[in-house]
Amino acid sequence: MSQVPHFPRTITIADVAKAAGVSSMTVSKVLRGTGRIATETRARVTQIAEELGYVPNRLAGALSSQTSSLIGIVIPSIGDQVYAGVLAGINEVLNAEGYTAFIGESFFDPESELRIVHMMLTMKPAALILTGGLARDERTAQLLRRSGIRAIHLWDGDHPDLDATVGLSHLRAGWLAAQVFIEAGLTGCAYVGSQLDRDLCAACRLEGYSVALSGAGATLQKLTDSSLPRTAETGYVLTRKLIEQGEMPQAIHYLNDAMAIGGLRFMIEAGIAVPDTISVNGFNGTALPHSLTTRLTTIEVPLMEIGRRAAKAALATSPPDAQRPVDLIDICLTMGTTVAGRSS
């Protein structure tokens, strides 16, 4: 190893230059792979930079060149299995193209999205990917328009926005959830969900579900709570409340698979036969890999494929006056063992 000094602070180009016995300009050229630098000098500078642990200030480079290898991504929650799948697809494409994802969580809060977008724009990202389904602040839209940064509207295919949209029709997802109950002859239906005041895509699915049931002459009980998280425990609590407060429904559609799993757990504990007494379906397909004897009927969404297409849309280029493309992803209802008279 070369004899280099110890620096108990952030290493700078000047530190590398001093240790290598060259100018800061030479170090900069070596690290950027530019200029006519002797092979021996280039090798020595590279080795010393590695030994010192020098990390280039990519933000400073972005600010001076107006370019960056960062892609900003704003999702509701990194802990949600849905967005974990989407992020996996995004990163698969970005990593292959030499880009790095920078992720922020909005928790469906427009003010949080505004703050995150503002911070990301200071880093001069190559593009932004923003999850739809929340009441976006007009100030966020203005920031994006003025920045000139390409922005992709993710997940909400029913309300296209920004420079391009990649998502699914949540109205259709709700229709599919209702249709499987209707085809099974189930007319006393219910819905269990939470936070619909913030998650506009979930509210859109409920709309599609409600309209389809109404058109078939089916009834609908709705039980939601704006304060509870979209988890299995919430599904358990709300299902118990639904069953205890009124007439037993024939079928329940849940906001997501996690809540459906919680509802199934309550029904098992309460001795309610599924699907003989109550049929159940969910949304997003995240329960499918974990199914054992009971396989949830659910709307399956190709999460990684949505992520891949969103990343490709972010990296695409188009003239300023080009039409804003909408890429709607196909979804399907996957039959399990939780709907009466229907099984896979």
pLDDT digits (tens, 9 = 90+) for 86-109: 999 999 999 999 999 999 999 999
Residue 46's contacts (CB-CB under 8 Å, 6 or more residues apart) are: 30, 31
Tell me the per-residue pLDDT of 108-129, one tens digit each, with 9 for 90 and over.
999 999 999 999 998 889 999 9
pLDDT at 294 over 60: yes
Q: Are 137 and 113 in contact (CB under 8 A)?
A: yes
Q: How far is CA 73 from CA 90, 119, 138, 251, 257, in A?
A: 9, 12, 19, 37, 24
Sheet with 100-105, edge to edge strand ranges: 100-105, 70-75, 127-131, 150-156, 164-168, 326-328
Contacts of 173 (CB under 8 A, 6+ apart): 205, 208, 283, 299, 301, 331
Please state the separation of Cα 248 from the chain's center in Å: 35
pLDDT at 2 over 80: no
**Amino acid identity, position 245:** Q
The answer, as to whether pTM is greater than 0.75, is: yes
Q: Is the pLDDT of residue 307 over 80?
A: yes
Tokens of 10: 């952030």
CA nearest to 294, candidates 283, 303, 281, 308: 281
